[in-house]
Structure 1
């Protein structure tokens, strides 16, 4: 009976997982498409300026525009969809995490004898909110720390430059020198961070890191832009599929080890690093 219940919960969790992933994907596409339309309308408006506004206020042109359902619908949806879509996407991710975690943990309890983390589905939702809030606070603390380190590095460079110049401050005529200094200080700060990473043994070149990161995502079967919650759900699903206690295929143990290694590599810091590299490119 326990096995039957376990497989039932596992199948139910998998169905919910795929259905909600598909819905989130569709919502994300709609937000992207209609955000693009809104940008196009904004570009046309900015290019036309006052002339476009005068034409738009013309009763004949305004009547023709309002009588065209396609254009009118695009304008309305371009305003509404990006706003509502982002809220819906966030809420769907919350439901996705809460439901799949609940049913997968139920399956683990009946199939593997593991105790569920929480008894109620709402508790998983509360955990999701707590994790998101901690992640937001962590990013904010990291941002403040980076800005503070950057400010101190620039102040130190200013102090050294001032000492070397005999204590005299720059005039407005030295503006080109200031630009050179700013670029050098930015580059020096970046290189300093790289050298620290190299010294700690945790630094890999951007190209090598990108390959490793994408290979880890391929092993778990997730998009390269996945967040920590999507990666965690994919890991749990793959780990259960190839767990040696469940899967008796000859290559299951080796695949199970690869899955664990991939999940360990896709840490919060590596996720942030990959996304930063992609955005900077």
Structure 2
């Protein structure tokens, strides 16, 4: 009887691993497709905004013809709705992948060795996933606001220092030696930010004029490559942490700050 339980457990474990890989591939493919469609949509809007009235009239003329054609209408609706529906589908699939595979892995391990692995009902994994997601969101928000506050304070303090030094130098014309420190603190802060920003881009393998969608796509590729559970590289854990830190640093505000300051 125990032999049959163990064989069933091993069979179920193998099936669950295959199911996890299939669902993971589906999720990753959908995420990449969502980002691709979003980039096309943004590119169309950017082209339209740069072209002005003439381009708007051109698109309006051809737009009516496209919308009148069923295939063209389906294409336009896909560009508009797919990023939203695709993102929801990805979130749903991640939820299903976690609760199904974790439950089946637990069940298979329980069949193989019931003394070491305690059986857990399916409902526990639903609650565990929701709690983990809430904790992950809270932690990401905390780190995001802490990071923004830190860099904001550094730029603010160095700007105040630069401003006060500038006012002092106006009353002492010819004190050029004093101006050797003019804005030095601000420049140091800017250089630190620039170095961290460019190092983060290099870590993810994206250009310095990167868009947020490119960051997300690069992060998912790198994270899959160096995830400690998937990669056999000796430095996988270290690389995965560096990739995660780079992804968190390259948010919309820091990308715009890099473009504004440098």
Q: TM-score, normalised by structure 2?
A: 0.64
Q: Output the CA distance in 2 between the equivalents of 1:102 and 1:27.
A: 24
What residue in structure 1 maps to residue 150 of structure 2? 149
* Cα distance, 1:208 vs structure 2: 11
What residue in structure 1 maps to residue 207 of structure 2? none
* Cα distance, 1:179 vs structure 2: 7.6
* Cα distance, 1:124 vs structure 2: 1.5
* Cα distance, 1:74 vs structure 2: 1.4
What residue in structure 2 maps to residue 272 of structure 1? 244
Q: Do the aligned partners of residues 141 and 6 (structure 1) sit closer, same or farther apart at CA in structure 2, a change above 3 Å counting?
A: same
What residue in structure 2 maps to residue 245 of structure 1? none
The one-character-per-residue Cα deviations of 1:170-202 (angstroms, maximum 9, x if unpaired) are 9xxxxxx988764432335788x9xxxxxxxxx
Q: CA RMSD in A?
A: 4.4
What residue in structure 1 maps to residue 140 of structure 2? 139
Pick one of 28, 34, 38 that aligns with 2:37: 34
Q: Do the aligned partners of residues 206 and 38 (structure 1) sit closer, same or farther apart at CA in structure 2, a change above 3 Å counting?
A: closer
Contact 2:159 2:186 in 1 (8 A): no
* Cα distance, 1:266 vs structure 2: 6.3
Pick one of 167, 187, 190 that aligns with 1:186: 190
What residue in structure 1 maps to residue 217 of structure 2? none
What residue in structure 1 maps to residue 131 of structure 2? 130
Q: Do the aligned partners of residues 264 and 54 (structure 1) sit closer, same or farther apart at CA in structure 2, a change above 3 Å counting?
A: closer
Q: Which runs of 5+ in 1 are unaligned?
A: 171-176, 194-204, 211-221, 239-257
- Equivalent residue pairs, number: 224
Alignment of 1:14-33 (within 5 A): 14-33=17-36
What residue in structure 1 maps to residue 116 of structure 2? 114
The SS at the match of 2:123 is helix
* Cα distance, 1:136 vs structure 2: 1.6
Alignment of 1:150-229 (within 5 A): 150-157=151-158, 161=162, 182-188=186-192, 223-226=221-224
What residue in structure 2 maps to residue 216 of structure 1? none
What residue in structure 2 maps to residue 5 of structure 1? 8
Q: TM-score, normalised by structure 1?
A: 0.60
What residue in structure 2 maps to residue 243 of structure 1? none
